[in-house]
Structure 1
Amino acid sequence: MSFIVGKDGDISLFRVGTLVAIVGIVLVVGGVAAYFLDQNSYRVPLDVEPYPGAESWGNIREAGATRRLVFLTSATPEEVAAYYDEKLRALDGAEQGCERIPASGEVAAAATDRTVVPYWYKCLFQRTGLRSSQLTTVTVQPGVFSADPDLNTEGKTVIEHSQRWQP
C-alpha cells in the first residue's frame, strides 16, 4: 500500500484518485467488452440437438437470419415430443413443455384425407438478452401420404427445426 502514500507519509489524494480512475476505466472497458461478446453470441442459431437417430431430410435457408432443418425418424411423435420436452426443461427449467395441437384427438379433415397432418407438437426454445434473441421452434408431426415418393413420409415422424437469430 506504499504506492498510495506520498513522500510526507500521508495518503496522497492524487494517487488514490489515479488508482480509482484506473480501476473505473478497467471496469467500464470490461463491461463494454462483455456486452459486445454477449450480443455477438446471438448472431448464430440456437441449435437444439436433433432426436437421436433422426436422419436429415433437408436444410432450407429462408433468409440471412432464419433457416429450417427437417429430419425424419421411425420413432413415434409422442416419443420424439417427450425427448424435446426434456431438452426444453433442461434449457430453461420451466414446467411448460411442448404443446400438442389439437390438445386431444385429431384434425377433422385428417379422418378423410391422408395428406392432412392429424396433429402436431410445438416446442419453443428461446434465449433472450438485451435487445437480442435466438428462437428455435421444433414441430413434431406424424408423416403423411404423398403421391410423390420423394415427399411421402407416411409411417415416419417429421421433425422441423425453424430457427431465427439476430442478423
Structure 2
Amino acid sequence: MSYDSDILLWSEQQADLLRRMARGERVNGLDWENVAEEIESVGRSELHAVESQLRVALTHLLLIALAPWPEPVRHWRAEATAALAEAARGYAPSMAQRIRLDRVWRDALRVAERKLEGEAVTFGPNLAAMPFALAELVVEEPDLDALLTRLGSTSDRHD
C-alpha cells in the first residue's frame, strides 16, 4: 500500500514493520522518507494544537476584559480555563522557542474584535503587544484573575 493512496493502511503497515525491526527481524518495505515526514508532522501537529488552545484562551480573556455586557462572562471564564488546561497538557518544553506567541496574540485580538464588533469597545494601542509570558499560560493551574487584572490594566474599556 502506498502512502498517497491509503495513509491509514500505510501507517499501520509501517508501524508493524518498525515493530518487527525493533524485535531484531530483518524487514523490507519501510518507506523511510515518508515515515520521517510523518514523525515530524506529529510534532508540528502538537505544536499547532497548543497554539490553537492558547488562541482560544486569549480570545476569551479579551472578551471578559473588554465586553460591555456581563452575561456571558461565566461561560468565557470556563472556556479560557479549559483552553489553558488543554494548552498546558499538550505543552512540551521544546515548544517554548517555536510557539509564535505574538502571532497567537494578534489572531486572538482579531477574533475578539470581530466578536465585539459594533459594541462600545476600543482596542487601544496598549493591547498591541502580548501582555503575558508563555510560562504564565502553560502552567497546571493558571491564575485567571491575575491574567485578567493584567489584561484589564492594558485595555481601554468603555462601560
Alignment TM-score > 0.5, same fold: no
* Structure with the higher helix share, 1 or 2: 2
Bigger Cα Rg: 1
TM-score when scaled to structure 1? 0.29
